[in-house]
Amino acid sequence: MEVIPAIDIRDGKCVRLYQGDYARETVFSDDPVSMAVRWASLGARWIHVVDLDGARGGRQANAEIVARIVNSVPAAVQTGGGIRDLETVSATLAAGVNRVVLGTAAVKAPALVRDAMAIASSRLVVSVDARDGIVQLEGWTEPSDRDALSLIRQIADVGVERIVYTDIQRDGTTQGPNFEMYEHIASESSVAVIAAGGISSLEDVRRLADCGVEAAIIGRVLYTGQVHLADAMSAAAAVG
């Protein structure tokens, strides 16, 4: 299982939110690029970058910072937030990003997923962000009427190979991931699963690896030093 450090950008800074609440923000660095360089220097092979301003506002606001990250690290970069049309998908890929992540658009503009698959193929990821199993949109500020599992089945049917699944109630809380949901998705769906939200310990990393997920995105505990990246990578590698 891959361990992927998270870099969430808001107002040009590297932050973490508590349960996706924009009013409950902790700033960990004024320079997201330097944070990416740090994680890459410690061995990260992938970095997950989210444009929080773009996610809530509907269009990319930190694309220039994402491009600088891509050009500053040897690690692969996947990014999402404010990617709502095919032109932005194409521009993001052209900037050197290895994977582009669609979230809100997968629900509000499902045809975009099919069109994006045509140009991105395996480089397209869909982010399924759920609260109590119901998909949330617009940077987690707007509920939908979509059940997360039905959305996963829908995007798998059009050929999407990989999702990021976030349990919003666990995100930023360090209270542990929703292991049961990850086990269910990994066993019942054809898509590869990247887990996000709630990781608090090396034991959580090991349990996620046992769940059959492809990767785990880790945020707050890396920034606080509660978990060290090298230890998390070793814990994941030791399973299986």
Q: Give the separation between CA 127 and CA 20, rounded to whole angstroms.
A: 14
Instruction: Quote the tokens at residue 134.
Output: 């119901």
Strand partners, 4: 217
Residue numbers annotated as active site? 8, 129
Q: Give the separation between CA 114 and CA 181, rounded to whole angstroms.
A: 26
Q: How far from each other are the two terminal CA atoms of the chain, in whole angstroms?
A: 9
Cα torsion through 169, 108, 155, 146, rounded to 10 = 50
Which of 39-43's residues contact partners 24+ apart within 8 Å by CB, and which partners?
A: 39/5, 39/7, 39/73, 39/75, 39/222, 39/229, 40/73, 40/74, 40/75, 42/229, 42/230, 43/229, 43/230, 43/233
- Burial status of residue 199 (CB atoms within 10 A of its CB: 0-12, 13-18, 19 or more): buried
* β pairing state of 124-131 and 2-10: unpaired
Q: Which DSSP helix (H) or strand (E) runs through 222?
A: helix 220-224
